[in-house]
Amino acid sequence: MLFPKRMPKRPLYLIIPPQLLVLAIVIFPLLWAIYISFHSWNPTISPERRFVGIANYIAVLKDERFLASLGRMLYYSGVGVTIQLVLGTLIALALVEYIRSERLRTFALVVFLLPMMMAEAVVAQMWTLLVTDTGTINNILVWLGFSPIGWRTQKLALTTLMIVDIWQWTSLPLLIAYAARISVPERLLESARLDGASKFLILRKIILPYMRVPLAIAFLLRFMDSYKFLDKVFIMTYGGPGTATELPTFYLYQTAFSYFNVGYAASMSWIFGIMAVVAMLIFWRLTKRA
């Protein structure tokens, strides 16, 4: 039965306009992208679209540049998001465990959340100034007697972007972890303490199990965000040096808006999108099982 018997029908009419809107601005473009992905279409070469079947999809899956960018994304997302999650959790636990004053704790929380409230472009510009070879960070290193570091060189550029992202986005897992931690019933903790459980045992057996689901959601949110990571790459490195920081989103952007290879970009975006859905389903299943 589609609707319960007692549910009044009239309000259903009210949801038709928003549904139409969603259809127009979400569903139609998705379907259009599928249609385009089966065509060879570059409006800067010819206005005509040529049906090519699944040739674009096969070409994308053989495209070394795309595959290399996926590898970079796995490194960036896997390592970067994990660090954000661990760091956020540790800070959240430290705030609750070691800061007794409510005011001080709120103040610290606000300070930690500030980076997250800044625009991506602003953060990218700011960090560009910090990590240039003669920038603030290297000047401090030299002043301390260390050698300057080539933050945007071939070897380090992607890690640098990851560090910037960690700086900005650790706040989100921190906020979620903090909320999860303070939602752990105090009586449970009190009982455990009375039973003589150590702090570590309480953390392992009570606090972390309570925090598991919120942390999984935090990981998922950040993973999804990292999937569409573009702004910082665009501003800080433009995918370089060479293609050292070229992530799939940047390559997709280049293909669609620099080369205007629209059909190919559409198929790439669908492959990339399907990968995201599969990755999230696997992750969710693993989390549920755990």
Q: Provide the binding-site residues for another protein, judged by CB under 8 A.
A: 42-47, 132-134, 148, 150-154, 157, 234, 237-244, 254, 257-260
Closer CB to another protein, residue 48 or residue 97? 48
**Residue with smaller CB distance to another protein, 219 or 251:** 251
For the chain, the C-alpha Rg in angstroms (whole number) is: 24
Least Cβ distance, residue 51 to another protein (angstroms)? 17
Q: How many helices (H) and strands (E) does the chain have?
A: 16, 2
- Choose between 115 and 148: whose C-beta lies nearer to another protein: 148
Which residue's CB is nearer to another protein, number 8 or number 242? Answer: 242
- Cβ nearer to another protein, comparing 238 with 284: 238
- Map residue 266 onto helix, strand or coil: helix
Tally of CA atoms within 13 A in the half-sphere of 268 that contains its CB: 26
CB of 53 to another protein, least distance (A): 17
Minimum CB distance to another protein, residue 209 (Å): 46
Q: How far is the CB of 62 from another protein (least distance, A)?
A: 12
Is residue 266 within 8 A of residue 33, CB to CB? The reply is yes
How far are the Cα atoms of 28, 36, 44, 106, 172 from residue 261, in angstroms, in the given order? Answer: 20, 11, 8, 50, 36
Q: Containing H/E element for 50?
A: strand 50-51
Q: How far is the CB of 211 from another protein (least distance, A)?
A: 40
